[in-house]
Every structure is written in C-alpha cells, then in structure tokens.
C-alpha cells in the first residue's frame, strides 16, 4: 500500500474494553464464512483463524447457528489453548428444526443447554461474551435475559450481549441485567439501527455491526470510489473506516475465508477520513428519523 495523503491516515482509537474487562482490537473477525467441511477447505479455514490472531485480532465472533456448533469446534481446533488477550464471543437462542430449518428457542432450559454445549465445543469453562442471537417472541424477554443472568452468576458467562434488537428492547433488557454488547446489521448504507447505536454509545456498550460491508448502488458507489481513490484504499476499507469513525463503541466484525482479504480488512484501521470525506459518505444514505 502506498503512503497516504496528509491528514487522511492515522491511528484513531484502536481498542475498546468490552464489559470493562476485555480490551479488544476494534476491527474483529466474523468466523461465519470459515468452512467446516473436511479436507483442504477446512485446513484453509484453520489457517485463516490462526492468521487473524497472529495479525492482532483479539475479538472473534461465532455462534451456535454457524454449522450447529461446527464453527465453534473449528475455532477450538485452530486456536485452543487461546491467547490470554483473545475474546471469542458466541451466540445462542436458535435451534435446528431439520436439515435446513431453524427456529427461535430462548426458553431458559434451552439457553442453558446451548451455553453448556458451546462451552464444551470451545473447550472453555467460561465464555467471555455470550450474545442472545435473536429474541424469542414466544418467551418474555425478562425470562430470556434472566436465564443468561443466572448463568453469569454461576460463572459460565462473563458478559451478556444481544443481537438484532431495537432501542426499546435494549432498554428493557438492561432492567434485568447489564448488557455489554449489541450485534445488529448496520453499515453506511443500512442505518435502520442508528437509534440503537446512539443508545450503545451513551451507555458505553459495544456495538458489533454485522454485514459491515454492503454492496453499493450506483450513486453511493460513485462517492465510495471517489473517497477510496483519495485514500489509496479499497471500497471495503472505506466502508470499515467509516464505521470506525462513526463511534468509538463500534467494533466491525467483517468475515472472510481468505488471509489476503483478512489483511485488507484489518488495514482499514490505518485510515482516517477527513470531515469532508465523512460528510460526503454520510450523504449517500439518509439517516432515519429518531
């Protein structure tokens, strides 16, 4: 990569303390794309996971849903025993209903069993950050969060997070227990959850946007390409840099099955947008009314 134009690159806040306990790199890694099939693809996936840690990633995101535990097992095979500074977060709250089917299941007994299974697969006694993958509409939210709170009191969970929630649901959950993170779909072009991010920032809660890099339509693509050219960056790097600039609580978790792509994503932390560039990018999509 060539040198950056003056005033456009630098080191912003590069870490965030999740739950006040885990200082992690702000660009994490989403493990969902790693292949768990036997053979060369699995070997490559293990190499990518190991490369992520070697490259300085200290936050890796997985879930029970990803291969119904196979993704967790892959990470354990690749990385256990884990470095002291590595936070692996997993998610529970959905169950398998058939070869291709799944359903919400956040009944307290189901959450307990899913957490126990995750601990076994990850080969740990305590998961540092456990996120509720989806709120089960058939179970009172207080019961779902209460079950996770009990597991935290037992020492099986360090911190509790939520995924795909509204600001109102976040506020309701916080009445039952402390919430350390929120993982919602969010990127430059998809900002439905702007109010949730604002609530997280106000409370010091980590916000992990999934699908942080989105395909742009012609109008936004032109603006992105222009800024990328000014920074000597790729378009995905600009999208990640925008997220990092949006709020200090934002921790993007881009996923990939390629070490080269992984390095490209991590390098986004080296870019700093000017105010003019941020304004032009912000104008590519309207902010929602709050």
CA distance 260 to 32: 17
User: Is 186 labeled as catalytic in the residue annotation?
Assistant: no
35, 45 Cβ separation under 8 angstroms: yes
Q: Which residues contact 109 (CB under 8 A, 6 or more apart)?
A: none
What does residue 166 show for φ and ψ, rounded to 5 degrees? -90, 170
Tokens of 59: 């936050």
Six token digits for residue 218? 């012609």
Rounded-to-integer distance, Cα 66 and Cα 74, Å: 11
Measured distance CA(45)–CA(198) in Å, rounded: 35
The rounded distance, in Å, linking the Cα atoms of 147 and 142 is 8
Which tokens go with 29? 């890694």
C-alpha angle with apex 84: 264 to 86, nearest 5 degrees? Answer: 30
Catalytic residue, candidates 66, 82, 104, 193: 66
The residues that are catalytic are 66
């Amino acid at each position: 990569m060539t040198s950056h134009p003056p005033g456009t690159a630098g080191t912003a806040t590069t870490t965030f303390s999740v739950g006040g306990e885990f200082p992690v790199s702000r660009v994490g890694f989403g493990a969902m794309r790693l292949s768990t099939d036997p053979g060369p693809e699995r070997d490559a996936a293990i190499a990518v996971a190991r490369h992520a840690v070697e490259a300085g990633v200290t936050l890796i995101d997985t879930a029970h849903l990803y291969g119904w535990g196979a993704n967790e097992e892959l990470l354990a095979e690749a990385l256990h025993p884990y470095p002291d500074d590595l936070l692996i977060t997993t998610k529970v709250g959905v169950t398998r209903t058939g070869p291709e089917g799944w359903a919400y299941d956040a009944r307290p007994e189901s959450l307990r069993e899913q957490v126990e299974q995750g601990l076994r697969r990850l080969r740990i006694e305590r998961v540092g950050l456990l996120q509720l993958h989806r709120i089960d509409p058939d179970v009172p939210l207080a019961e779902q969060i209460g079950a996770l709170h009990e597991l935290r009191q037992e020492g099986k969970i360090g911190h509790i997070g939520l995924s795909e929630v509204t600001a109102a649901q976040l506020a309701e959950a916080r009445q039952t227990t402390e919430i350390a993170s929120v993982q919602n779909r969010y990127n430059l072009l998809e900002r439905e959850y702007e109010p949730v991010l604002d609530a997280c920032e106000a409370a010091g809660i980590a916000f992990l946007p999934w699908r942080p890099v989105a395909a742009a339509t012609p109008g936004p693509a032109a603006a992105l390409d222009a800024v990328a050219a000014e920074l000597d960056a790729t378009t995905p790097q600009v999208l990640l840099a925008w997220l990092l600039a949006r709020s200090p609580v934002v921790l993007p978790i881009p996923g990939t099955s390629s070490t080269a792509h992984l390095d490209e994503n991590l390098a986004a932390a080296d870019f700093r947008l000017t105010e003019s560039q941020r304004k032009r990018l912000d104008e590519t999509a309207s902010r929602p009314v709050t």
